[in-house]
Every structure is written in structure tokens, then in C-alpha cells.
Amino acid sequence: MNNSYLFTRLLLCSILLLLLNACHKPDTTDNNEYVVEKMYSYGELKNSNEYNADWQLVKSSAFVRINARTGYNSDVSFFYNNSGRLERTETISNGPPPSFTTEYTYNNQGQLITVKSIRKDGSLLSQEDYDYNGQTITRTHSVSTGDDYVVTYTVDERGNIVKAVTDNLSAGSNDYVEEWQNFDDKINMEGPVAGNVRSKNNPRRYLYYYNGRTANEYISGYTYNNAGYVTSRKDYRVFFNDINITKYELIPKR
């Protein structure tokens, strides 16, 4: 093989590399805001959402799995007041709990303070009352059966919920503790929420304690679009040694 042939091959390879690099477009920043249209988990559709012209969520349809063979459908319609705050929801379900209406009340600062769920016959299904004190949010949940509990949330300086302690009032003791750790700096699509306070970012680690002992642990990894919204989440459930991938179909606000 002569030198002229080698030189020609090298020259052609160099030109090909230059062309490939020229055709590759670098990732560009996406300035759109996105909402979740559909969510898939364990390979099946779990949730689909509809929005109005102002990109407010107006309907959410979910499939709630009970076990490997059975589940039920739940449709929630959302209604807003003149200030754009959520005023009530109407849930139609073919499984527990039965169909009901939920009403939302806010204080002068726009913070959610009361959530009431009412059955079709007008009786109270449940009520939640919220109290805000610095980086602590307290949610008191009461039901007609008397199985009441209080959840105390701790919020960090970035606005992420990092801890939730549940006290069962009827039992008089701590039922369980939840912790969210190692948050990323991307936009949270789904995650810990207390009242109208939702974590700003996505946790990479979740711990669940029951009666002082670690009952479960999740390690999560995320993929994002160019605007910083999560398009998929991979959860490794440590104690059960299994992996679930949640996928999100997003649509831009335009």
C-alpha cells in the first residue's frame, strides 16, 4: 500500500469528520414552560390531564391499581375562582373512596388553610386544616371515623419539603417519618407537597421510617428536556430490589 493511497484515505476521513461535526447541531436552550399531558408507570398509562386556554388543569383522569389484576378509574374536574386559585374539585370514581366534592379555602396571604371533602349526600368525608410557621407546615387531617392524624412538614431554604412526621392522634404515637434528600436544581413535576406548597426541585433519595426503623428507601434518577423539565424518572426501591421507570409526556404552554 503506497503513501499516496494512505494520504487519500486520511484526507477523505478528515473531510467526513468535518461534515459530521458540521451537521451536528448543539443543544439549544428551551424557554418554554411545560405541563404534563400523560404519565406512565410500570409500563401502563396512570394519568392523563386536560387544560384550559389559561393552562389551568381542568380534568385529570387516573387509573389506580389495587393489585396485579384489579384497579379502578378516577376522574377529577377542577374549578377556579376569579383570582385563579383552585376553588373546588369534583371526583367521580368507580372505586373507594366514592364520588365526592372537595372545597378549598385560603387566607389573606393566598395560603391554603382548609380542605373539605363532602359526599354526595352532603355529609363530611374528611377535613384538612393547615398552619404555617416559618419553615414548618402543619396539616391536621380529621375524618368522620375518628381516625385523625397530624403531619408536620419541614421546608428548606430552597422551598423543598425535606421531612414529614405523621402523628396518629387516636393512637397517640408517631406512625412514620418521611425524608426527601439530595434535590437537583431542576423544575419539580411531581413530588412532596403540603397544602399549596410544593417542592421546587426533584429529590434523588427518599426514606421512609416506621416505628423508628427504616421501612423503605428509594434512589431516583431523572432525565430532562432542554427547558429543565423532567421527562422520565427511574426509581430503585432498595428494600425490594426492583426498578420502576415513570415517563412523562409534556406539552409546552403556547
Identify the bridge partners of residue 244 per DSSP, sorted by sequence position: 235
C-alpha cell at 123: 355529609
**What is d(CA 174, CA 209) in angstroms, rounded to the nearest whole number?**
10
C-alpha cell at 195: 397544602
**What is d(CA 254, CA 246) in angstroms, rounded to the nearest whole number?**
25
Counting other chains too, the contacts that 236-245 makes at CB distance below 8 Å and 24 or more residues apart are 239/215, 240/216, 244/41, 244/42, 245/41
Per-residue pLDDT tens digits of the chain, which is 254 residues long: 554 544 444 444 444 444 344 444 446 788 899 999 999 998 899 999 999 999 999 999 998 877 777 888 899 999 999 989 999 999 998 877 679 999 999 999 999 999 999 998 999 999 999 999 999 999 999 986 667 889 999 999 999 999 999 987 665 556 789 999 999 999 998 888 888 889 999 999 999 998 778 888 999 999 999 999 999 999 999 988 999 999 999 999 98
pLDDT of residue 199: 95
pLDDT of residue 190: 85
For the CA atoms of 216, 219, 223, 226, the dihedral, rounded to the nearest 10 degrees, stands at: 100
pLDDT of residue 21: 45
pLDDT of residue 236: 95
C-alpha cell at 223: 432525565
**What is d(CA 243, CA 237) in angstroms, rounded to the nearest whole number?**
6
C-alpha cell at 92: 367521580
**What is d(CA 114, CA 214) in angstroms, rounded to the nearest whole number?**
32
**What is d(CA 64, CA 44) in angstroms, rounded to the nearest whole number?**
11
Q: Are 91 and 76 in contact (CB under 8 A)?
A: yes
DSSP 128: E
Q: Are 117 and 127 in contact (CB under 8 A)?
A: yes
Alpha helices in the chain, H assignment, sequence order: 3-23
CATH, domain range 30-252: 2.40.160
Residue ranges of domains in the chain: 30-252
Q: Are 183 and 201 in contact (CB under 8 A)?
A: yes
